[in-house]
């Protein structure tokens, strides 16, 4: 009877230990899946939206300046294509924003998108007026308005860049904490 009780105790302890190990393994795998998902989002340049927007606005501004000097219709077409591509790129990036840190960036991205629409409208108007005027470049005041609008977008990009750095830092701290937990 005593041997049977001990055997039962060992079997029960083995089953409890197996359940604990299974539970710990399950929790560990869930945490690893979450880390993989988080790392995939970072690899997708989620925290680097401002760099792309900044470079694109610089390209657009160069096209406006070139168009003002030369007055070629091809410049207007290139400007419209690049601006549509940028706006589409921004719209396709917003659904990929999934983490709480990234959601904080959405408001800033929306502000940039609105500013880009105004910039495109103003720049297109300037190019149309330049085409109608003929040989002379646009008045300095009109160019200054376009430059000011581009500068406001770049300023918003700089704010977004700061928010991206903060979100990326928070993400890395969370990831390090998860890795420490997994190691323990």
Q: What is the distance between the alpha carbons of residues 38 and 175, in angstroms, rounded to a whole number? A: 8
- The pLDDT of residue 137: 63
pTM of the full predicted structure?
0.65
Helix axis angle for 100-133 and 73-93, nearest 10°, is 170
Of residues 160 and 88, more confidently modeled: 88
* Residue 84's pLDDT band (cuts 50, 70, 90): very high
Average pLDDT, the chain: 79
> What's CA 13's distance to the chain center, in Å?
51
Q: Is residue 115 a contact partner of residue 149, using CB atoms and an 8 Å limit?
A: yes
pLDDT category at 45 given cuts 50, 70, 90 is: low
Six-digit token string for 17: 């230990």
Query: What is the C-alpha to C-alpha distance for residues 155 and 148, in angstroms, rounded to an integer?
Result: 10
Answer whether 54's CB lies under 8 Å from 157's CB. Answer: yes
């Amino acid at each position: 009877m005593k041997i049977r009780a001990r055997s039962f105790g060992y079997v029960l302890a083995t089953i409890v230990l197996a359940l604990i190990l299974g539970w710990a393994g399950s929790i560990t795998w869930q945490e690893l899946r979450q880390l993989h998902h988080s790392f995939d989002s970072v690899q997708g340049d989620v925290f680097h939206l401002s760099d792309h927007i900044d470079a694109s606005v610089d390209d657009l501004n160069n096209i406006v300046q070139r168009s003002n000097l030369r007055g070629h219709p091809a410049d207007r077409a290139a400007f419209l294509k690049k601006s549509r591509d940028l706006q589409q790129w921004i719209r396709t990036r917003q659904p990929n924003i999934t983490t709480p840190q990234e959601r904080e960036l959405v408001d800033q991205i929306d502000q940039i998108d609105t500013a880009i629409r105004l910039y495109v409208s103003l720049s297109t108007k300037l190019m149309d007026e330049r085409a109608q005027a003929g040989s002379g470049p646009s008045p300095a005041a009109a160019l200054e308005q376009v430059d000011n609008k581009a500068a406001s977008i770049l300023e918003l990009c700089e704010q977004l860049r700061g928010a991206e750095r903060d979100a990326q830092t928070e993400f890395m701290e969370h990831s390090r904490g998860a890795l420490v937990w997994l190691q323990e």
